[in-house]
Every structure is written in structure tokens, then in C-alpha cells.
């Protein structure tokens, strides 16, 4: 279900570091999500937002994994891509591989991987979800990244209130 884009910034994450891995394939739609995600993160007043472009959706996990292992670490990595279903099952296989890869990276590194590598059956679906102002999966991805960063920061504080 699509949710309206909210524009509330999270001041508690000022100084945060976020990365975005965005596919160049189906650029019209991915760029729409990228613009919305960057605008949302900018409103939050983050110290650093790094964008890395990759050729296609299949390449997103390898770069996301490399970012997750960097030090100093990233608070979250937002992964953006659009896969349009063709006449074969290739799109479904790519989508499943990306999902499995991002899940494995998130669990093994502890860095939230925000998964917005989307598989659509037609361009109308992509237009509505990637180019809209009221509903945009890029803005939703940024909001999720901010929320997950706050959750992870809260977990990093021991019971006695002293960060690990």
C-alpha cells in the first residue's frame, strides 16, 4: 500500500552518514526516487549523503556490501533500482537475487539496507511509485533509513546508558 510522503526531519540524526546505491538502468524512474530520497535526507540535516551509481539492479548488493564494511560506518544504505518485467522470468530472478543479497548484508554487518529495488509489471506502476510527489518510494526509503538509524543508535546504548 502506498503511503503519503511525510516531510518531518529527524534532528536527532543530524551529523549522520547515509549512502545511496542507485541503478542507472531505467534511469527515469530510479532518478525520481533518488531525487526524493536526497531531498528527504537533506531536510533531516545529515552530515553526509554519498551517492554511488551502478549499471543495473543486480550490481546494487555488491556495492552496498562494500559500503557496509567501510569505516567509519554508514548509518544506513539506501538501495534504489527499477526492474521492469519482460517476456521472460529474468526480472523475477534479478529481484529475488537482490533481495537475498541485501538481506544477507544487513544481517551480517548490522548496517540497515533499505531495499527499494522494485520489480514492476509495467511502466505505469513505476511512474506512480517513482515519479509521484504524493507517493514516492524514494522518499519512503529515506524515511525508513532515518528510522532504522535511530533504532540502531538506540540499540548501541548499554543498559547503563553508556554507548558501547
Catalytic site residue from 71, 90, 93, 115: 90
- Identify whether 90 is a catalytic site residue: yes
Whole-number Å distance between alpha carbons of 68 and 60: 12
Whole-number Å distance between alpha carbons of 32 and 139: 10
Question: Strand pairing partners for 52?
Answer: 21
Whole-number Å distance between alpha carbons of 130 and 133: 9
Residue entry with cell 518485467: 85
The percent helix, strand, coil of the chain (3-state, each to 5) is 50, 20, 30
> What is the full DSSP assignment across 50-117?
EEEEESSGGGHHHHHHHHHT-SSPPSEEEEEEEEE--SSSHHHHHHHHHHHHHHHHHHHH---EEEEE
Catalytic residues: 90
Amino acid at each position: 500500500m502506498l503511503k503519503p510522503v511525510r516531510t518531518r526531519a529527524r534532528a536527532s540524526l543530524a551529523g549522520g552518514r547515509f549512502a545511496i546505491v542507485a541503478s542507472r538502468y531505467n534511469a527515469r524512474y530510479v532518478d525520481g526516487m533518488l531525487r526524493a530520497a536526497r531531498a528527504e535526507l537533506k531536510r533531516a540535516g545529515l552530515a553526509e549523503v554519498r551517492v554511488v551509481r551502478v549499471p543495473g539492479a543486480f550490481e546494487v548488493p555488491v556495492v552496498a556490501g562494500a559500503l557496509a564494511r567501510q569505516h567509519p560506518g554508514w548509518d544506513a544504505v539506501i538501495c534504489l533500482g527499477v526492474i521492469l518485467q519482460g517476456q521472460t522470468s529474468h526480472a523475477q530472478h534479478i529481484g529475488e537475487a537482490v533481495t537475498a543479497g541485501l538481506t544477507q548484508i544487513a544481517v551480517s554487518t548490522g548496517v540497515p539496507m533499505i531495499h527499494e529495488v522494485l520489480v514492476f509489471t509495467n511502466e505505469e506502476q513505476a511512474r506512480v511509485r517513482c515519479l509521484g510527489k504524493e507517493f514516492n518510494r524514494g522518499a519512503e526509503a529515506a524515511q525508513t533509513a532515518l528510522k532504522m538509524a535511530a533504532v540502531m543508535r538506540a540499540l548501541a546504548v548499554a543498559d547503563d546508558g553508556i554507548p558501547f
